[in-house]
Structure 1
């Protein structure tokens, strides 16, 4: 199809951040009394906001975390990003090939999105069209964030294509009435992710950003 808007997830789609983020989340949660591995964080919470993850864990524990959990998590993630975050290979070439408007719709906070894009030289490609789960009532897999992004960009949902790397992201895009493409080229993607994204509703699966222009005319 030829969409009027291309919506990109950030983590794992624009920047190769998911391994870093899941590791930091696991370390932080473990310090706060909830032992969990990097792999378990990826399995349970990949593509979802830290707010949603916190609510689920607190309900499971029957107690709330200390007030400084979020601040510690943000500080640790941004510090790790500053040390080692890289863009997804060939993302610049993929963006150069697009003629449609683009925006970001991410489960991360606006601070984290901006930091990651600045660190990897992609900020100017998207600003000010950065949209975060913190701006809506319900994060992915709910459609709220994608509908918010489309509304702000003035494009009907049916004319949007979403690039996602997670099951919650694909589900949210499809629930919003948008076409979803599944990207499995991030360093966090394990065998079987392509099948999971397709089962969630991705119309196309690809692992090299240079392929993106083959699907978006």
Structure 2
């Protein structure tokens, strides 16, 4: 994981536009991928386990509610919301159990998102990962499906920044780490908080609905949040961003 922001070269501005189109023919210079629900089909797994563990402790919540309330946000913010709603601290046993169960489930249930390996093989644009997941879980998920070495060391966790999504911090950090102007970046995101974070960072963003956690209406929610396009398959990117290939 990177530890030095090294933000030299980071430029916070919108790209020059004409008729709604970026003038640069080289955009995007950097594609920033969210991890859970974009690179790996993990949200449905982790949200199910989270709902089960909270319910076991007495805080009754469904998988669908966990997805709607917490997908795309850092764990620390989820815990703060639950504690405020529940009126009591989440016991330490929750963290021990959920991490053990996620590790076990990743070994048996986790799937790589279809088409991502082929996409990475054909892209000439720079790529990195910016995720709300804590570093160990982020590395575990990418390692399990064989993607970690394809991105490392350009893998950024929101634990490195002050605020998680929908704040722009993790995307600004990632752009600085990659020495890319924010206006040259395209973010691929599956969550409403992630879309809002990318826009707040001055980046363009495409929504992604290829994960099993994406229920009917999710495409519309991503568009309402400000996603420029919403794709269901990575094969859609070739005609949307031809300069990246």
Matched, 1:121 2:146: yes
CA distance in 2, matches of 1:204, 1:150: 21
Q: How far 1:28 moved relative to its partner?
A: 1.4
Partner of 2:99: 74
SS at match of 1:68: helix
Partner of 2:62: 37
Residue in structure 1 matching 2:89, options 46, 64, 69:
64
Matched, 1:94 2:122: no
Partner of 1:15: 40
Partner of 1:132: 157
What 5-or-longer segments of structure 1 have no aligned partner?
Answer: none
CA distance in 2, matches of 1:150, 1:29: 35
Residue in structure 1 matching 2:135, options 100, 110, 122:
110
Matched, 1:203 2:228: yes
- Superposed CA RMSD in Å reads 1.1
Residue in structure 1 matching 2:185, options 152, 160, 163:
160
Q: How far 1:10 moved relative to its partner?
A: 0.4
CA distance in 2, matches of 1:65, 1:37: 17
SS at match of 1:155: coil
Partner of 1:144: 169
CA distance in 2, matches of 1:12, 1:181: 13
Aligned pairs, number: 217
Residue in structure 2 matching 1:3, options 25, 28, 34:
28
CA distance in 2, matches of 1:38, 1:133: 23
CA distance in 2, matches of 1:134, 1:29: 22
Q: Report if the CA contact (8 A) 1:98-1:213 is conserved.
A: no
Partner of 1:175: 200
Partner of 1:46: 71
TM-score, normalising length: structure 1: 0.96
CA distance in 2, matches of 1:213, 1:176: 24
What 5-or-longer segments of structure 2 have no aligned partner?
Answer: 1-21
Q: Deviations over 1:79-114 (max 9, x none)?
A: 111111010011111112210111111111111111
